[in-house]
Structure 1
Amino acid sequence: MNTEWIAVDWGTSHLRAWAMQGSTALDHAQSDKGMAHVGPDGFQAALLDLIENWLPGAPVDVVACGMVGARQGWVEAPYSTVPSEPLPDVPIRVPGSDPRIRAFVIPGLKQTTPPDVMRGEETQIAGFLGTRQNWDGVICLPGTHTKWVQVSAGEVVSFRTFMTGELFDLLCGQSVLRHSVGPGWDEDAFAEAVADTLSKPEQLAARLFNLRAADLLQGQAKATARARLSGMLIGAELAATRPYWLGQQLAIIGAEGVSQTYATALQRQGAFVETANATEATLAGLALARNMTRQTA
């Protein structure tokens, strides 16, 4: 296998890597050695465990995005301030790396008012925009911490982060609702909960306990409770982000399941939604960043 360079998406929970030839992925590997599971001096070892079989004889470029550039990461890659291009600066070179690799980390973006930050999403945004000339609109990147990003003239103008995914996991696993929520899905219940919460977001805290009461008094199915819980939280998020998506050109970049959930909720509100694959956008953005390192070499 002729590995030309290595692309890395290093998040809080997981480490993913691809052996690349140009913009084509030759192989893929991943581990649970995300930033939260690696000690201060363990980043290089965790990476080499994953990619060692791909390394050619000559030193190879490794370009990484995500939490690997945080203060607790392999090397701190300072944030760039919006408004800004998604990749405004050349990635930061990791000092003292193994002689077989030249490692670079992509900086994140920050917003001063209201305060907000992103790491990793900027690379997906760059990859998405790289295949769509003159694209203006709003990009939603759903996940544990969902981002809503306003894009104009090739720049990230502003963004907001919502902890919707994390709240869903906490409520399912650690609140009283853990007794009432289970696997499965009810599409009608989800749509009803989205619409109800969009119209009355101030009722969210009370509506959440209704899920427990409906279980105790009416034997509500756990799959229905799960769908309603998701619909309530996403509905509250859509109520807060209405100025972002209402009447705007809108794209969703994320994993297929959660992207479709958001797309369904938005389409039922009359929004026109384009979806893009998160892995493809990440690799395209990492390839753009790699070209930046080559131009300054």
Structure 2
Amino acid sequence: MARATTDWICVDWSEDRLRVWVMGPDGAVSAREEADMTGLSAFETGLGPVIAPYLQDDGETDILVAGDPAAPGGWGAAAPRAVPCAPPGQGDTTPGVTHDGRMRVALVPGLQQVAPSGLMLADAVRVRGFLARNPGYDGVLCLAGRRTRWVHVSAGEVVSFQSFSTGDLVRSTCATLGIEGAPGEGLEAAVDDAMSRPEAAAARIGAAEAGLRLGTMSQDAALAEIWGLFLGLEMAAARPYWLGQPVALVGEGDRRAAYARAMTAQAVMFEEADEEETILAGFAAIRG
């Protein structure tokens, strides 16, 4: 039996992570759920058990879904829109086919770019949400995640974007070295070094590994070195986006903090936005 506070549900399914927000009649979040979806491709099978306690037994519940299910060949026929264009809004969703009559799924389309080749799925909701909260914004969004996107927006449209796999590279490198956690002091210096001498980044990572094994480098210092080097490479490549432009940094936790430190070190003009608030504003604007 559904909980009485359920009005509609929004779902962010990306990076093997499922996040669910159950929205109440007053427009506020009444419940949150999260699950690891690594390796799962049967979307309804994965989502159903997570949201089952919040579905109406005697009717349909509207469910907005963004992310992997909206990819080409995903849950439905939600074709990504080509930039330049406005981020998805009211009336842009595509139905998702379900076997559970209690679920009325609407897929939020992503955005695609021809050159450089790019695909933005769940992040399209973040763009919509930021613009809903900041109408008339003209500048750049840095959507920090495992795959970070720098997005140029103007006149309510996404003009272009560039994706970076920095988060994946950091995670893989740290896993290889057997370390995890937030970067300590030294991140800013590593950013500077990577931007000025990108050809030496791989050697610096090798030196960090040796330092860990020899006991001459702490885990915090190694984390700062690895984060800083990869962020420096990204900052150098993304320079056309942030140089001389207002930037809004959207992210969560240690990752957003690391990007903020890197941007501050490079004197980037930026503001920060809460990721959950931005996502929820995006879903609300798309639902209408």
TM-score for both structures, normalised by structure 1: 0.89
C-alpha distance after superposition, 1:146-187 (max 9, x if no partner): 11100111111001111111111111223xxx16x4556422
Q: 1:7 to 1:216 in 2, by over 3 A?
A: closer
- Residues 82, 110 of structure 1: 8 Å contact kept: yes
Partner of 1:186 in structure 2? 184
Q: 1:219 to 1:51 in 2, by over 3 A?
A: same
Q: 1:69 to 1:183 in 2, by over 3 A?
A: closer
Q: Identify which of 167, 174, 178 aligns with 1:172.
A: 174
User: How many Å apart are 1:61 and its aligned residue?
Assistant: 0.8
The question of 1:103 aligning with 2:101 is answered: no
SS of residue matched to 1:37: coil
SS of residue matched to 1:77: coil
- Residues 69, 107 of structure 2: 8 Å contact kept: yes
TM-score for both structures, normalised by structure 2: 0.91
- Gaps of at least 5 residues in structure 1 are 292-297
Partner of 1:54 in structure 2? 54
Counterpart Cα distance in 2 of 1:106 and 1:216: 47
User: How many Å apart are 1:260 and its aligned residue?
Assistant: 1.4
Partner of 2:221 in structure 1? 224
The question of 1:24 aligning with 2:22 is answered: no
Aligned-residue CA RMSD in angstroms?
Answer: 1.9
Deviates more, 1:216-225 or 1:116-125: 216-225
Partner of 2:87 in structure 1? 86
Q: Identify which of 261, 277, 280 aligns with 2:277.
A: 280
Counterpart mapping for 1:1-297 below 5 A? 1-21=4-24, 23-32=27-36, 34=37, 36-39=38-41, 42-56=42-56, 57-71=58-72, 73-87=74-88, 90-174=92-176, 178=177, 181=179, 183=181, 185-187=183-185, 189-215=186-212, 219-291=216-288
Counterpart Cα distance in 2 of 1:18 and 1:66: 14
| Alignment coverage as a number of residue pairs | 282
Counterpart Cα distance in 2 of 1:134 and 1:269: 26
Counterpart Cα distance in 1 of 2:181 and 2:247: 30
Letter in 2 for 1:49: P
Counterpart Cα distance in 1 of 2:6 and 2:212: 55
C-alpha distance after superposition, 1:217-276 (max 9, x if no partner): 671112211111110000111111111111111001111321111011111211122111
Counterpart Cα distance in 1 of 2:172 and 2:152: 28
Counterpart Cα distance in 2 of 1:276 and 1:9: 18
SS of residue matched to 2:276: helix
- Residues 59, 100 of structure 1: 8 Å contact kept: yes
Q: 1:79 to 1:186 in 2, by over 3 A?
A: same
- Residues 17, 35 of structure 2: 8 Å contact kept: yes
Counterpart Cα distance in 1 of 2:174 and 2:12: 27
Paired-residue identity, %: 35
- Residues 183, 227 of structure 2: 8 Å contact kept: no
SS of residue matched to 1:78: coil
Counterpart Cα distance in 2 of 1:194 and 1:184: 15
SS of residue matched to 1:64: strand
- Residues 146, 163 of structure 1: 8 Å contact kept: yes
Deviates more, 1:223-232 or 1:86-95: 86-95
Letter in 1 for 2:259: Y
Counterpart Cα distance in 2 of 1:104 and 1:134: 27
- Gaps of at least 5 residues in structure 2 are none
Q: 1:190 to 1:81 in 2, by over 3 A?
A: same
